Each structure stands twice: as structure tokens, then as C-alpha cells.
Amino acid sequence: MTTFSSIASWLRRPLPRPAARTSLVCFPHAGGAAAFYTPWARLLPPHVELVAVQYPGRQDRVGEPPVRTMDELADAVAEALRADPAGRELVLFGHSMGASVAWETALRLEGSGHGPRHVVVSGRPGPARQRPGTVHLRDDDGLAAELRRLGGTHADLLDDPEVRSLLLPAVRADYRLIETYRPDTAARLRCPLTAVTGDRDEEATEAEVAVWRSATDAAFTPQVLPGGHFYLVAQAERVVASVLAACGAPAPAAHPVLP
């Protein structure tokens, strides 16, 4: 049985909005944490609440073992969302590894009759273009070098031995999970899907991201924004506005949808 404490362990609400009608559920990248999305909370209109997923093995869950497989991770998040007493309409957003976790979670939610209104995937090739990898087999220096290359982790954190000892086990586990992940390429969502990538993202090219078209039976919208793999850091307002527009929700007046 899912308890409130187990729901709370998976879902973070940096700016609670009890009267909100929609939850924007955000899934972090490999090695990422719920706090990555905290700045987005103030960019949302009052009727949308940010709900960020916290994977085990990092930040306030650092004492828990990281999840080893995609099935285990998506099953747990879907269970927490189904049991969430807020009971709101859901929009899912995931970046990089989080894109695959969001899609797998959405499939499970639809299978139990609690499907989301919309899914937005970012910086990740479509399921039919998932490629295996060996980053998780590298030593700590090699793993840190990969994080530096992608640019999603502050270099000073990777230079601190104590921080590295806390950070890298979860990073390695996430890379193992996503590099050994084998999606069901015949699976299809029933809700609309938007796929976004940066125009200089070598990890998820425009052509690879367009493959998400086959991951839904509903409307599909591709979008390319300026930047590399972590384009969404510098363009948080634009990304949030685009997510809201894709889902038919108006952006706040202070943060109009950008062309």
C-alpha cells in the first residue's frame, strides 16, 4: 500500500499551490535531482503547481540505494502519482534520462486509467533510437569528464573529492539504468506528445528527437530551441512558456510565450 510518506519521498513541491488545477510533473536527467526544477516553480501561472520527482540516492534521499532498472523506477513514480491525494490533471516533462522515465511513467498511468493530459520530452532520442552505452563502466574520473562535457554539473562540485564521493554513485547508477534500458518500441501513448531539443545537442539531434513521433497515437509536436544538451538552463522562461503553450495553458503575463 502506498502511504503519504512514500508519496512525499518521490514528489517535491517547492512552491505549494493547494488550489492549482494542474500538476506539472518534472523528471530529472541522469545524476539530477528534484531541485534542478525549483526555479521553474515561480514561472508557472497560479493554476499550475510544479511537482518535481526525486529519485533515490541523491540529496535528501542520499542514504537510499539508487534504482537499478527503468521498470522499477517508472512503476514507483506512477504509483506515487496515482496515490497523490491532490488528484489533479497531470502534464509530464522529462529531460534527457528523465524524458524516457516520463514516457514510461505515462504509459503506466494510461494503463491504469490515470493518463496525463500531455507529455513533453526533452534532449532524448525517441524510443526507437535509444542507444546502449558504456559511460557507467568508466572510473570516477571518466564519469566526471562526461558530466563536464555535457555541462549540466558545476565544475567546482566535480573538483571537490568529498562532493564527488556523494554525487557519483547516483550518477553511475543512473547511467547504468539508461544505458541498459530497452524500451518497447511498439508502445504508444494515447495523449499528445511534444519533443524538444537544442539545436546544438549532439546527444539528441533534431532527427533523433523526431523519432518520438512513433511513441504516441495522438498529436505530435517537435520543437528545436537554441543551445546544447542543457539548453533549458539558460532558457528556463522560454521552455516553461513552451510547455504551457503545448498544453493549452496560458503563460503568466510577465512571461509571454516567445517565438
The residue ranges of DSSP E strands in 45-192, in sequence order, are 48-53, 89-95, 118-122
3-state secondary structure 27-54: ECCCCCCHHHHHHHHHHCCCCEEEEEEC
Strand, helix or coil at 52? strand
| 8-state DSSP, 224 | E
Q: Are 166 and 62 in contact (CB under 8 A)?
A: yes
Would 193 be classed as within a structural domain?
Answer: yes
Q: Which residue has the higher pLDDT, 131 or 182?
A: 182
Would 67 be classed as within a structural domain?
Answer: yes
Share above pLDDT 90 across residues of the chain, in percent, rounded to a whole number: 69
Would 195 be classed as within a structural domain?
Answer: yes
> Which amino acid, residue 190?
R
Q: Are 240 and 258 in contact (CB under 8 A)?
A: no
The pLDDT mean for the chain works out to 88
Q: Which residue, chain included where needed, has cell 493554476?
A: 47
CATH code of the domain in which 105 resides: 3.40.50.1820
Confidence of residue 120 (pLDDT cuts 50, 70, 90): very high
Q: What is the average per-residue pLDDT within 226-233? A: 94
The grid cell for 131 is: 542507444
Confidence of residue 256 (pLDDT cuts 50, 70, 90): very low
Would 144 be classed as within a structural domain?
Answer: no
pLDDT, tens digit, for every residue of 29-66?
998 999 999 999 999 999 999 999 999 999 999 999 99
Point out the residues that are catalytic: 96
CB burial of 189-202 (b: ≥16 within 10 Å; e: otherwise) equals bebbbbbbbbeebe
- Give every CB contact of residue 36 below 8 A, 6+ residues apart in sequence: 26, 28, 29, 52
Give the domain range for residue 100: 4-131+186-246
Would 239 be classed as within a structural domain?
Answer: yes
Please report the pLDDT score of residue 133 as a whole number.
74
Would 167 be classed as within a structural domain?
Answer: no
Would 255 be classed as within a structural domain?
Answer: no
Identify which of 162-166, 238-242, 251-255 has the greatest average pLDDT: 238-242
pLDDT, tens digit, for every residue of 130-163?
777 777 778 878 888 887 877 766 666 776 777 7
Would 46 be classed as within a structural domain?
Answer: yes
Residue 253 clears pLDDT 60, i.e. is over it: no
Q: What is the average per-residue pLDDT within 92-103? A: 97
Question: How many domains does one find in the chain?
Answer: 1
